[in-house]
Structure 1
Amino acid sequence: MKFEVSKEAAQWYIDEMELKQGDYVQFYVKLYGGIPTVHPNYSLGVEVGKEGEVIIKDVVEGVTFYFNNQDAWFLEEYDMKIVVANGEADFIFTKS
């Protein structure tokens, strides 16, 4: 289980969400609709703020990108890297 946010992707989120150093960006699991994933019927949502216990994180450009204790199961068998492709955040999942 590995979670990585590229510097370019972090900057993309900073620009898009008007983030500042010290902010937290939570990725959370939801049914349908949102960022497509390797788990059928599940997608990812994104929101600013810290909720729950931070289980897996990557701090880039002073911003903490994370999954909390409730949603960490999502990466149990996968590594996830966020990059920028075609001007948008792109999510790359690989089996760990």
Structure 2
Amino acid sequence: MSFTVSQEAAKWYKEEMDLQEGDYVQFFVKLYGGIPTVHPNYFLGISFGKAGNIAVKDEVEGITFFFNDKDAWFIDEYNLKIEAKDDDVEYIFNQK
């Protein structure tokens, strides 16, 4: 499992969500609605702040992007890369 956020994607998050250095962005598993994923009927949600124990993270542009230990299973068999694309971000799941 790997989890990476490109520098361009981190800049997008900072601009779009008014993030400051030292902020935390948490990705979590949702059952309905959100960011589409490789898992049928599961989606990603985003929240701000640090909740739970960080299991996997990437620190870019002074922002800590992470999954906590409750939701890290979601990418156990995948490498997740978040990249900027056009005026948005793209979530790329590649099986290990």
- TM-score bracket, normalised by the shorter chain, equals over 0.9
* Structure 2 segments unaligned to the other structure (5+ residues): none
Q: Tell me the CA shift for residue 86 of structure 1.
A: 2.0
Q: Which residue of 2 aligns with 1:28?
A: 28
- Could you state the TM-score of these two structures normalised by the residue count of structure 1? 0.98
User: Aligned residue for 1:79?
Assistant: 79
Counterparts of 2:38 and 2:86 in 1: how far apart (Å)? 21
**AA aligned opposite 1:12:** W
Where in structure 1 do 4 or more consecutive aligned residues deviate above 2 Å?
none
Q: What CA distance in whole angstroms lies between the structure 2 residues aligned with 1:57 and 1:21?
A: 15
State the alpha-carbon separation in 2 of the partners of residues 12 and 31 from structure 1.
26
Aligned equivalent of 2:46: 46
Count of residue pairs brought into register by the alignment: 96
1:66 aligns to what? Answer: 66
In structure 1, what is the Cα distance between the partners aligned to 2:94 and 2:32?
A: 21
One-letter amino acid of the counterpart of residue 48, structure 2: V
State the distance in 2 between where 1:82 and 1:47 align.
Answer: 16
Note the C-alpha offset of 1:22: 0.5
How big is the shift at 1:32? 2.0
Give how far 1:60 is off: 0.1
d(CA) in 2 for partners of 1:10 and 1:54?
18
CA distance in 1 between counterparts of 2:51 and 2:89 reads 22
1:81 Cα deviation from its structure 2 partner? 0.2
* Seq. identity, %: 58
